[in-house]
Amino acid sequence: MKKATFQFVLRRLLQVVPVVLAIAAFNFLLLRMAPGDAADILAGQMGHATVEFTEQLRREFGLDRPLYQQFFIYMGKLLTLDLGMSHLQQTPVVDLIVDRLPATLILMVSAILLAVIVGICIGIAAARRQGRLADNLISVAALLVYATPAFWLGLMLIVLFSIKLDILPSGGMMQIGAGHEGLAHVLDVTWHLILPATTLGLFYVAIYTRLMRASMLEVYGLDFIVTARAKGLSEGVIAWTHAMRNALLPVVTLAGVQIGHLLGGSVLVETVFGWPGLGRLVFDALLQRDLNLLLGILFISSVVVVIANLVVDLVYGLLDPRIVHR
Amino acid sequence: MSAPVLDVRSLSVEFESTLGTIHAVRDLSFSIGEGETLALVGESGSGKSTAAMALLRLIPNPPGRISSGAVLLAGRDLTALSEADLRGVRGREMAMIFQDPMMALNPVYTIERQIGEVLRLHLGLSKSEILAEVVELLRLVGVPAPEERARQYPHNLSGGMRQRVMIAMALACRPRLLIADEPTTALDVTVQAQVLDLIHGLKEKFGMAVLLITHDLGIVAETANRVVVMYAGRKVEEGTVGEIFADPRHPYTRGLLGAAKWEEADGDLLREIPGTVPSPFEMPSGCSFAPRCAEAIPLCRSAMPELKDVAPGRPVRCFLAEGRGHG
């Protein structure tokens, strides 16, 4: 890595700290506005919710203190990367997240890679056949996929590939009890990943297909494409080198922006496919007012999004030499 | 003269549009010999750039197409070649440089990669040979510090340097014909002369033929051997530079020369040809220049004059050309 790039990364990582803290503070205040807390829920679940018992729980969790005290205690702990205890599961939030985060990251990265790569390829194919039947079919298909809700698509894919055809697993992350190791484990997870990653990514495939097509057509109108033709390069080489490299920039930008969006989508998809990621954890934490857990997940999510954006900026610099990281 | 490098015969180019067919180039014929510079001159919309693009079959199809005619490069008809064979001609036997060097180079690739691409494609050079040859080419076109420049991107270079890079790229395979489409229009005046000198010097060195597309008669006087004047898609006059400048026979050529010699105009600072090039959808029925011509007679408005030699190698498309000599 060049020195300038290294300094850029370092500076950006330092900028992450105040951004993430601000997000955490905002989340904290926002969640406190919602009625009910973990003490209410827990006491209710135990079946003998006397006022005294609920108050006792509240004291235990520190929920009885004034809001500003709770806020400073929470933020102070956050600075030492202590995310506190889950009120309901009586386990450190960090442990719960570390358990689940890898599964979500695998799903997200697979979905975004699938979406970007497939979207780019189809977009290029469509642009090269502008106005012809294949282009029109791609446009219609993209629109259909774009309008399809992910949860419905997930269920339909399960019906088709798991139940009717019986060729792909309907849920989970690995075959239970199989105890695969090494490559067999990787293949097993990949196998289980196909349907959820497709469900999560297909919507974005549609977006990137449309964007890449438009971007390619714009680049095709530029003079250097004529230069490339005058050099004697074939249309295929022109499309997949000269045009593609220039047309990628908007797609990469959008993919970066959509990482956060994707995280939201994965909650839904994880629920449909029983994928053991953060999604299910968020869902439970939300229903049970497990504030510390919820805040912890949101905190980690914001870190993931900010880092993803940094990666996108670096990729941008690789694609376009006119962009200099300062 | 020996067999011409380029022989264009009755070339016509059409564009389909929602308003009808546009005849951008009609029945255009000219030839260029080895080591010769032919200037294709005309206003915007005269069809000169379209004609140049058609030579390499770079007209986007649809909507454009070469509707008739032949383009013979060293005796081979390019209009009859397959797309694959044609790619072997482009960049190797016939190369082209463009008006705006800012836009004509790909911003995301290094100079080495963009010039090297031609060398790899047509000459099959290896990676190390390519670098050496790119540096040599850059040196040839007068780019200082060529080793360093080769690794840079277009945005690191000035306009003049970029046009030199374009020339280096065009000359990489020592083509028989170089098409230069307004090569200096986008450049500073001081740089213009340098680039023209460079093209001229390289033409002498390699014995290339050069087709120079321009609207600037000053450039024509300095660099060209012969001139073809185009108006509304048709050739209206042809001759050597000396003949055209000393004895223009077509009123349009005279108008162009008059507009160029502004310093000699008495009274007015600028002399112009009244009116504009007619819209391709509203071509007058007779001579397309008649509506702007001060000398037009009734015949001009009803019939299109044919090209007629007023002297050997001096075709002029005007009913009154023969009577007009040395006027």
Which residues does A74 contact at the CB level (< 8 Å), separation at least 6? A28, A84, A295
Residues of B in Cβ contact (< 8 Å) with A227: 96, 98, 104-106, 166, 169
Among candidates B90, B108, B153 on the partner chain, residue whose Cβ is nearest the Cβ of A229:
B90
CB contact under 8 A, B166 and A321: no
Alpha-carbon gap, residue B318 to B250, rounded angstroms = 6
* Residue A92, in any domain of the structure: no
- Provide the residue range defining the domain that includes A292: 98-319
A229 part of contact set with chain B, CB < 8 Å: yes
Among candidates B53, B92, B104 on the partner chain, residue whose Cβ is nearest the Cβ of A227:
B104
Neighbours of B17 (CB within 10 A): 11
Looking at residue A276, its amino acid is: P
How do B20-32 and B6-17 pair as beta strands? antiparallel
| Spatial CA neighbour of A120 closest among A198, A202, A209 | A209
One domain for residues A27 and A116: no
One domain for residues A58 and A141: no
Per the CATH hierarchy, to which homologous superfamily does domain B6-84+209-324 belong?
P-loop containing nucleotide triphosphate hydrolases (3.40.50.300)
One domain for residues A64 and A213: no
Q: Which DSSP string corresponds to A199-229?
A: HHHHHHHHHHHHHHHHHHHHHHTSHHHHHHH
Q: What is the pLDDT of residues B275-318, one digit of tens each?
A: 888 887 778 888 888 888 888 888 888 888 888 888 888 999 98
Which residues does B134 contact at the CB level (< 8 Å), separation at least 6? B111, B112, B115, B116, B119, B146, B150, B168
One domain for residues A75 and A111: no
Residues of A in Cβ contact (< 8 Å) with B155: 321-322
Number of domains chain A is built from = 2
One domain for residues A48 and A174: no
- Taking the model in full, what pTM does it have? 0.83
B107 part of contact set with chain A, CB < 8 Å: yes
* pLDDT the model gives residue A58: 80
Among candidate residues A28, A51, A79, the one where a domain is terminated: A79
One domain for residues A205 and A279: yes
Interface A-B: count of C-beta contacts within 8 A = 71
CB contact under 8 A, A230 and B118: no
**pLDDT digits (tens), chain B, 327 positions:** 567 899 999 999 999 888 888 888 999 999 999 989 999 998 887 888 899 999 999 988 778 888 889 999 988 999 999 999 999 999 999 999 988 888 899 999 999 999 999 999 999 889 889 999 999 999 988 899 999 999 999 999 988 899 999 999 998 999 999 999 988 887 788 888 888 888 888 888 888 999 999 988 888 988 899 999 999 989 999 999 999 999 898 999 988 888 776 555 455 566 778 888 888 777 888 888 888 888 888 888 888 888 888 888 899 998 887 776 654
3-state helix, strand, coil in chain B (%, to 5): 40, 25, 40
- Which chain A residue's Cα is nearest to B86? A232
The domain spans of chain B are 6-84+209-324
* pLDDT the model gives residue B268: 58
Which residues does B308 contact at the CB level (< 8 Å), separation at least 6? B315, B316, B317, B321, B322
- ipTM (interface pTM): 0.87
**pLDDT digits (tens), chain A, 326 positions:** 577 788 888 888 888 888 888 988 888 888 877 777 777 777 777 776 778 878 887 887 777 788 888 888 888 888 888 888 887 778 898 999 998 999 999 999 999 999 999 999 999 999 999 989 999 999 999 999 999 888 888 889 888 988 888 888 888 888 777 777 788 888 888 888 999 999 999 999 999 999 999 999 999 999 999 999 999 999 999 999 999 999 999 999 888 888 888 888 888 888 888 888 888 888 888 888 788 888 888 888 888 888 888 888 888 888 888 887 76
